Amino acid sequence: MNLAIDLGNTSAKVGLFEGTTLVRPPERIDVAALPAFVAAARPDHAIVCSVSGDAAALRETLRPLVPSVYVLDYRLPVPVTNGYASPETLGMDRLAAVAGAAALHPGRPCLVVDLGTCITYDLVDAAGYYHGGGISPGLRMRFRAMHTFTARLPLIEPEPHAALIGTTTRTAMQSGVVNGLVAELEGTMSRYGAQFAPLTTILCGGDALFFETQLKGIIFVVPELVLLGLNRILLYNVSLT
């Protein structure tokens, strides 16, 4: 059994796999509870990815519990060709998501749109070459920025399917942010699709379900994409040993 860990500051999203199959829904658990979780699961291999937590320290914690533990960084071999010009600065969750997309749709160009704190766009082509992508402010970051950098705009929660024309300050903010982001997403996907056809678009991240029904065209929502990619990278490295 394999364990994939997407590590945050205080919690981690974890997935257990038999081969390429996720054996149960991913779980989010406190970092402090990870050793007990791992001891109970008894995986043969584990991989850790982090953009905020200390992956190396967690690896040392897990080593007595797991026969082999990998940390995803820019030096670890991956089953895609990384064309990023500064691989040491690339968020490893982005690389894992790309590996997951390439595994789910081999031989097809894929655009991964991760709708989290920031929105990231990442393109892997049909040959498995990762080109890079873009980074944009996320949904809640946009609302918070308007509140933080103005004197009177309130901090509000996003609502799906915002009216085009806002008739109050709050509904005008909803219109500007939500409809603006829908336009950004559809426009960006269209431009990638014109260059890399036929393009498969995959949404992941915390706000993927928020936008799923608001976007035109055929898209796939795969909330566990990063974990799937981590497992694919883990299997690739195990095969090299």
- 129 marked ligand binding residue: no
- 241 marked ligand binding residue: no
Q: Which domains does the chain have, with CATH numbers?
A: 2-105+227-240 (3.30.420.40), 132-220 (3.30.420.40)
Structure tokens at 152: 């009177």
Q: Is 93 a catalytic residue?
A: yes
Question: Taking the CA of residue 223 as centre, how many other CA atoms within 13 Å lie in the half-sphere pointing to its CB?
Answer: 14
Q: What is the pLDDT of residues 3-23, one digit of tens each?
A: 999 998 778 999 999 999 999
Q: pLDDT tens digits for the chain (241 residues)?
A: 999 999 987 789 999 999 999 999 999 999 899 999 999 999 999 999 998 768 888 899 999 999 999 999 999 999 999 999 999 999 999 999 999 999 999 999 999 999 999 999 999 999 999 999 999 999 999 999 999 999 999 999 999 999 999 999 999 999 999 999 999 999 999 999 999 999 999 999 999 999 999 998 889 999 999 999 999 999 999 999 8
- 9 marked ligand binding residue: yes
- 169 marked ligand binding residue: yes
Q: Which of 30, 54, 93, 125 is catalytic?
A: 93
Question: Taking the CA of residue 139 as centre, how many other CA atoms within 13 Å lie in the half-sphere pointing to its CB?
Answer: 24
Alpha-carbon distances, residue 183 vs 70, 114, 141 (angstroms): 39, 16, 17
Q: Where is 60: in which H helix or E strand?
A: helix 55-62
- 114 marked ligand binding residue: yes
